[in-house]
Amino acid sequence: MTYRAPARDLAFTLDIVGCPSRLGQAFPDLDADTVTAVLEAAGALADNALAPLNRIGDREGARYENGRVTAAPGFDQAYQAFAAGGWNGVAADPAHGGQGLPKALELAVFEMFHAANMAFSLCPMLTQAAIEALAMNGTDRQKRLVLPKLISGEWTGAMNLTEPQAGSDLAAVSTRADPDGAGGYRLTGQKVFITWGDHDMAENICHLVLARLPDAPPGVKGISLFLAAKRLIDDEGRAGALNDLRPGSIEHKMGINASPTCVMLYEGAQAELVGNLNEGLAHMFVMMNAARLQVGMQGVGIAERAFQQSLVFAQERRQGRAALSTDYPATLYDHPDVRRMLMLMKAKIEAARGICLTAAVLSDLASHSDDEGQRAAAAARRDLLIPIAKAWSTDVGVEVSSLGVQIHGGMGFIEETGAAQHYRDARIAPIYEGTNGIQALDLIGRKIAMEGGEVLKTLTAEILATAQTLSRSPALQPLGAGLIQGVAALDAAADWLLANRGLASMAGATPFLQLAGDVVGGWVLGLQALAAEGQAAPWLQAKAPLARFYAAHVLSHAPGLAQAVMAGAQDLEAVPAEAL
């Protein structure tokens, strides 16, 4: 169950994607020493407080009894240490008690928390989303009384969207909000799959809930967003009597067993409106976009955890003769196929990490740049990358953790080694915060069409320029060639999608997202390899062979993926369900 927080690798990737260099104007006090100090402090918490609880949490789980949820053993103390460190407020507004650092640095910090203990980190991750939603759309009262408590970690946040009949289709939300005659509302209904909807680690839980007024228009246009706290909040910001909401049960799941997934019952619960009536879905998307980028980083974190454990196991376990060693028995690491798997794991982790942190830097520029044109361009590219960051990175989490089980062999299928837990935990991430299929539809339906396709064209032109630079380096020429081929495939597939809408394009959405992630990931690895040229440190010298490996084993699939995009709808209607 080995884990070492990769502060060094995170600092390197942050530097490559522009934190702090591109953010100096918005964050004048930010420098490399600050980045390193924050990452090392977060890494210490991840290593010493969170990682040791990962296996305990999986085995013991959260518990539901007498209408309340108790966190897994040790989680309360770990949460108090988390809150005392100020980790909820890394990027929050100093006006409300935050530290005012970039979102990119916050996201890097959370990779380590996700890797150390994914089930634990879901709680503060959702609090982060609540902070963003209230900071943007909350009332003055909510910002004054609630935001500081969320930022300090005294209270936590939860997101309440899904209902038994309304999963991804939020138009079907039926939870009712009745005006109470005193400026507030009473919520009645049931929400399901509510992560950390109840627990005993904090004094209060602030639920952001989608509901509709009795006279609201049907569909998504009639949904509003409400704040309903577990304990009622008085005008001094104190948590008082219990509200009329409660968990009805918690789910028994495949993984993340220490994260209580609640059925929440609203039985006339007192609530406040957040933002404008009937604009709740737009307000909630502030939370969802923040959560989607965090979930992408969850994929990176769980992949890093699985990789580290697999690497140690492969170096220690000896089995048979190996082509890469004269020792007998040889370590697993010296068997070519095991080393292939480990290199693929490492290359994809670094690519996914780079994609997520690139999107985070763009988010910072979109929010804080003094240049209006830069803000708009950064926001557009961020919006293009978020579905890729969420979906591609969580698919990497599943792939890498599955390879981790494979490297362990039969031992990986045994729970005691811990390899299976990483795979079980990782498997939820492609499903929640918008399934990866939904991310793919968003990418082809909205994002590549932005500005007539120019947002994507600008990105691929930048990737192509990097590819041409790579091609001039003998050590990196294979990656340059792979990226040139990948960009050609991506541009051709995007042009086809823009010209062919409806079923034809929808059927090709998922292979297109994979293609986009493969190409952008290769670009990130290329930038890293260029920055590492001439460096003496072994871990930097490894950047070039990893990049070449990625070109051979990932980018080589680009033409086939483009073909799958353009032929995706063929025969979908030819085989009825009863014939399968």
Question: What pLDDT digit, counting tens, does each position of 306-316 carry?
Answer: 999 999 999 99
* DSSP-derived secondary structure letter, 445: I
At residue 262, what are phi and psi to the nearest 5 degrees? -100, 145
pTM for the whole structure: 0.97
Helix (H) or strand (E) holding 267: strand 261-274
3-state secondary structure of 136: helix
Mean of all residue pLDDT scores within the chain:
96
Taking alpha carbons only, the member of 386, 363, 383, 362 closest to residue 517 is 386
- Residue 153 pLDDT: 97
Cis-peptide into 20, omega within 30 deg:
yes
Neighbours of 249 (CB within 10 A): 15
CA angle 299, 103, 383 (to 5 degrees): 70
Domains of the chain: 7-151 (1.10.540.10), 157-278 (2.40.110.10), 452-571 (no CATH)
| C-alpha distance from residue 155 to each of 88, 267, 382, 537 (Å) | 10, 22, 30, 44
Which has more confidence, 289 or 181? 181
Taking alpha carbons only, the member of 432, 430, 453 closest to residue 443 is 453
Token pair in block for residue 446: 């909205």
Q: How many CA atoms lie within 13 A of 280 on its CB side?
A: 30
Token pair in block for residue 168: 């991804």
Q: Cα–Cα distance between 324 and 316 in angstroms, integer?
A: 15
3-state secondary structure of 205: strand
Token pair in block for residue 236: 């001094």
Q: What is the pLDDT of residues 38-81, one digit of tens each?
A: 999 999 999 999 999 999 999 999 999 999 999 999 999 999 99
pLDDT score of 285 more than 80: no
Task: Enumerate the active-site residues.
Answer: 433
3-state secondary structure of 372: helix
Taking alpha carbons only, the member of 96, 200, 97, 212 closest to residue 163 is 212
Q: What is the pLDDT of residues 325-368, one digit of tens each?
A: 999 999 999 999 999 999 999 999 999 999 999 999 999 999 99
Q: Cα–Cα distance between 547 and 348 in angstroms, integer?
A: 10
Amino acid type, 344: L
CA angle 228, 230, 232 (to 5 degrees): 75
Q: What band does 167 get if pLDDT is binned at 50, 70 and 90?
A: confident
Q: What is the pLDDT of residues 78-116, one digit of tens each?
A: 999 999 999 999 999 999 999 999 999 999 999 999 999
Pairing relationship of beta strands 176-179 and 63-65 according to DSSP bridges: unpaired
Neighbours of 481 (CB within 10 A): 15
Alpha helices in 191-279 (DSSP H): none
Q: What is the pLDDT of residues 385-419, one digit of tens each?
A: 999 999 999 999 999 999 999 999 999 999 999 99
Contact 161, 220 (CB under 8 A): no
